């Protein structure tokens, strides 16, 4: 399971972090760690209101928990 936090969460210093941006049209973009530890957009995926998530890398996921400051996704590799 992966836990995601809001952009304004007070994380300790780190050398890059992965993330995800959800869009209203049912797509999302994974934010990968790129050169110099800067975020880099990965391939787009799709999500549904039922909590199912699919990525073009053939792995899927499902929402486990959604809160105002925490999102938990169980990725099936």
Q: Which domain holds residue 24?
A: 16-76
In a domain, 42, yes or no: yes
In contact, 11 and 21? CB cutoff 8 Å: no
Q: CA 76 from chain center: how many Å?
A: 14
Q: Which residues, including other chains, have CB under 8 Å from residue 16's CB and lie 6 or more apart?
A: 33, 34, 37, 38, 39
**Number of folded domains in the chain?**
1
In a domain, 8, yes or no: no
Q: Output the average pLDDT for the chain.
A: 84
* Per-residue pLDDT band at 25 (split at 50, 70, 90): very high
Report how many helices (DSSP H) and strands (DSSP E) the chain contains, helices first: 0, 7
Please state the pTM of the whole predicted model.
Answer: 0.68
In a domain, 5, yes or no: no
In a domain, 6, yes or no: no
Give the pLDDT mean for 20-42: 85
* Per-residue pLDDT band at 77 (split at 50, 70, 90): low
| Tens digits of residue pLDDT in 42-64 | 888 888 888 888 887 767 888 89
Residue 75, pLDDT score: 82
């Amino acid at each position: 399971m992966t836990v995601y936090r809001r952009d304004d969460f007070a994380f300790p210093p780190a050398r890059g972090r992965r993330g995800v941006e959800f869009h209203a049209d049912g797509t999302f973009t994974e934010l990968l760690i790129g050169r110099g530890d800067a975020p880099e957009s990965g391939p787009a995926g799709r999500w549904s209101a039922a909590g199912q998530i699919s990525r073009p890398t053939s792995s899927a996921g499902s929402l486990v928990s959604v809160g105002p400051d925490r999102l938990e996704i169980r990725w099936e590799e």
